Structure 1
Amino acid sequence: MHLAWLAAVPLCSAMADEGGVSFWLPGQFGALAAVPTAPGWSLPLIYYHASADMGADEPLPLGGRGRVSAGVDAKADLLFAGPTYTFEQPVLGAQAAVGVLAAVARYEVEADATLTGPRGRTVSANVSDSLKGASDLYGMGTLKWNHGVHNFMAYLMGNLPIGAYDPDRLANVGLGHAAMDAGGGYTYFDKKNEFSAVAGLTYNWENSDTDYQNGIDAHLDWSASHFVTDQTHLGLVGYFYEQVTGDEGDGAVLGDFKSRVRAVGPQIGHFFPVGRELWYTNVKGYYEFDAKNRAEGWNAWLTLAIPLGQ
C-alpha cells in the first residue's frame, strides 16, 4: 500500500529555496508506493520529527528583500492527518484516489541574520523564533495500475497557501505561495520483496509578499525491503533532491541559489488486523548528506494507516 500520504509540508528538513523551505518534503513516498489499496476511505496519521543545521559560512535567503542568514539550527515536530478516498470503479484502467492533507506543527529555528539596506549598509544579529500553527492545505490525486508483480503510478499534488505564514518571521509553517508537483512511480512486489521509486517535478509560483520565486525542483524517493514474515518487512529508504532551475525575482538576493541533498536510512513496517480491517504502521528515518545551499540533518517518521471502509 502507499504509505499513507507520507506528508507534504514545508519543514526544516526541507532546506532549499526561499527561507530554506521547499514545497516537496523528501521522503513522503515510501514502501509499496505504487501498489493499489482497498477501495473506500482511509485515514493516515503521521508524526514527523526533523533536526537540521547549516554552517555559518553558508548564506540562506530569509524572504524579505536583502535578508539572509547563516548558522541555521532548526527543529520541527508535526502531526499530519490526510483523509483519502479510493474509488472502486477504474479510471483509465487504473485505481484512482483523492485526498487532502494538513498538519499542526511546532517549529523552532535559530540563525545569524543579516539585513542589507537600500544603500548597502548591513545590520547583523543572532535571532531565534518559534511557532505553533497549522500548515497549508494540500491535495493529491493518484492513478495506480497493477500488472502482476509490477505496479505503476501517476500523481498530481498542489497546495492552498492558508497555513501560518508571516514574511517577517524566521519560523513559518505555511509556504507563502502556491505550488504544484507531478510525477510517477514504480513498485516491484512479489509478496516477499519490494522495491519502490517515485520521481517528480515541482513548479512554484511567486511569493507576492517577498517577490521571490523558487526554481523548479526534481526529486526521487525510493524504498527497498524484505518481508521477514507475512506481516513485517525490513529495509532501507532514501531520497535525492535536486533544484534544476534557479530562484528568481527581486527578493532573490543570493542569485539562482540552486540546492541539493541526498539521504538514506532504515525502515520497518508491519500489518496487523483490527476487527475486519488490516491496519499498517511504519517507522523510518533518514540521514542527510551531500547538501548544497541547504541545511542537512536527520528526520524520523512514524505512520499509522487506518482503513475506514466504504
Structure 2
Amino acid sequence: MRKTSTAILLALSVALPSSMARADEGGISFWLPGQFGALAAVPTEPGWAFPLIYYHANADIGANEPLTRGGRGRIAAGVDAKADLLFGGPTYTFADPLLGGQATLSLIAAVGRSEADVEATLSGPRGNTISTQVSDSLKGGSDLYGMGTLKWNHGVHNFMVYGMGNLPVGAYDPDRLVNLGLGHAALDGGGGYTYFDKRNEFSAVAGMTYNWENNDTDYQNGIDVHLDLSASHFVTEQTHVGLVGYVYQQVAGDSGSGAVLGDFKSRVTAVGPQVGHFFKVGKDLWYANLKGYNEFDAKNRAEGWNLWLTLAIPLSSEP
C-alpha cells in the first residue's frame, strides 16, 4: 500500500494544480470553477510533470436576462455558448522544503474553439436592437496562466495555499462576441484542506479573485469568491469514485463606463460525479480523471454543464 500511495501522489502532482481560466465580463469569471478536485492539498513527489486537460462547456441564458457581450457597451440577450479547450503545460515540484512545506510551480495555456449564438444584440441599456440571430466562433490560444502552491502534511490532514495570475496574450478582440483571451490581468489566491486516509478523501479549496480593468472596454469585473469541493472513495488501490462541486459568488460589483448594466453581481452552484484511475505506462504511473458538473442557481451568468477529462503525465522525479 505504501508503494501504491507514493505512485498515486506522483501522478496527482501533475493532475491537480491545473491552471485555467477564460474570458471575463458577460457573467463569466477569470476563475474557472472546478479547477481543484480530489486530493487537492496532498503533497506530491518532487520533479517534472505535464498535465493535459480537455474541457468542454455548454451553457445558455434566457432572452430576458441580458449580458454585456463583445465590449463597446453592447448588450446581448438569449446567449447559447459552447467551448472546447485543451490545456497543458509544465509543472515542477521542488524537493527542498519552503517554510516547512512543499512548493510547486505550473505554467499553463490552452488552445481550442469557442462559439456563441445570440438572439439579439443591443446598443445599450435602453434596448435598441442592432441585430438579431447573430453567431460568432473563434479558434486560437488562451492567455498564459501561472500558479504556485505550497502544501503541508500532518498525518491524514493536509493544508495548502496557492496563488494564480495571467499574462493577457491570448486571442482577444473587444468587438467579438466570443474570445479566448481575457483582455486584462487578474490575480487569484486562497487556501485549501484535504482529509486523506488512503481510502477516503475530502477536499475543499476556497479563493478570491481581483481583476484589473479592461482598457479596451472600460470594464472592471468585481471581486469574487469561490469554493471547489471533492469527496471520493478508493474502491481499489487504483480507482476512486465520488462527487465534486463548486460555489461561485461575486461579492463586489462591476465598475467602469463599460459596465452599462450596473454592478452585475453573478453567482452559480454546481455538483456532479467523478471517477479517477491510475495505470502503468512503462515504469511510470499515469492518472486519468473524468468529472462533470451540472450548474444551478445561476444569476447574471450563463447556466449549463461542463466536463473535464484530465491525463496526468509524470516526466521525471527527484532521486
Q: TM-score range by the shorter chain?
A: over 0.9
The 2-side partners of 1:270 and 1:205 are apart by 39
Matched length: 305
Query: How far 1:105 sits from its partner (Å)?
Result: 1.0
Query: How far 1:163 sits from its partner (Å)?
Result: 0.2
For the residue of structure 2 that corresponds to 1:164, the secondary structure is coil
Per-residue displacement from partner, 1:140-189 (whole Å, max 9, x unpaired)?
A: 00000000100001000000000000000001000100000000000000
- Establish whether residue 188 from structure 1 lines up as the match of residue 200 from structure 2: no
Structure 2 equivalent of residue 284 of structure 1: 291
- Establish whether residue 64 from structure 1 lines up as the match of residue 75 from structure 2: no
- Establish whether residue 267 from structure 1 lines up as the match of residue 279 from structure 2: no
TM-score by length of 2: 0.92
Is the contact between residue 63 and residue 251 of structure 1 (CA under 8 Å) also seen in structure 2? no
The 1-side partners of 2:54 and 2:282 are apart by 24
Query: How far 1:118 sits from its partner (Å)?
Result: 11
Query: How far 1:309 sits from its partner (Å)?
Result: 0.9
Q: CA RMSD in A?
A: 1.6
- Establish whether residue 84 from structure 1 lines up as the match of residue 91 from structure 2: yes
Query: How far 1:210 sits from its partner (Å)?
Result: 0.3
The 2-side partners of 1:154 and 1:86 are apart by 14
1:103-182 equivalences under 5 Å are 103-116=110-123, 122-182=129-189
Structure 1 equivalent of residue 17 of structure 2: 5
- Establish whether residue 258 from structure 1 lines up as the match of residue 270 from structure 2: no
1:195-206 equivalences under 5 Å are 195-206=202-213
Q: Give the percent of matched residue pairs that are identical in Structure 1 and Structure 2.
A: 76
The 1-side partners of 2:103 and 2:266 are apart by 33
TM-score by length of 1: 0.95
Is the contact between residue 46 and residue 80 of structure 1 (CA under 8 Å) also seen in structure 2? yes
Quick one: structure 1 residues 267 and 117, their matched pair in 2 at CA, closer, same or farther if it must change by over 3 Å? closer
Query: How far 1:289 sits from its partner (Å)?
Result: 0.3
Quick one: structure 1 residues 258 and 38, their matched pair in 2 at CA, closer, same or farther if it must change by over 3 Å? same
Structure 1 equivalent of residue 8 of structure 2: none
Structure 2 equivalent of residue 14 of structure 1: none
Query: How far 1:251 sits from its partner (Å)?
Result: 0.1
Query: How far 1:8 sits from its partner (Å)?
Result: 1.4
Structure 2 equivalent of residue 95 of structure 1: 102
Per-residue displacement from partner, 1:63-104 (whole Å, max 9, x unpaired)?
A: 423310111001111111021000000000000010100000
Structure 2 equivalent of residue 73 of structure 1: 80
For the residue of structure 1 that corresponds to 2:306, the secondary structure is strand
Quick one: structure 1 residues 92 and 187, their matched pair in 2 at CA, closer, same or farther if it must change by over 3 Å? same
For the residue of structure 2 that corresponds to 1:250, the secondary structure is coil
- Establish whether residue 246 from structure 1 lines up as the match of residue 253 from structure 2: yes
Is the contact between residue 157 and residue 195 of structure 2 (CA under 8 Å) also seen in structure 1? yes
The 1-side partners of 2:308 and 2:292 are apart by 6
- Establish whether residue 55 from structure 1 lines up as the match of residue 62 from structure 2: yes
Query: How far 1:127 sits from its partner (Å)?
Result: 1.1
The 2-side partners of 1:230 and 1:99 are apart by 27
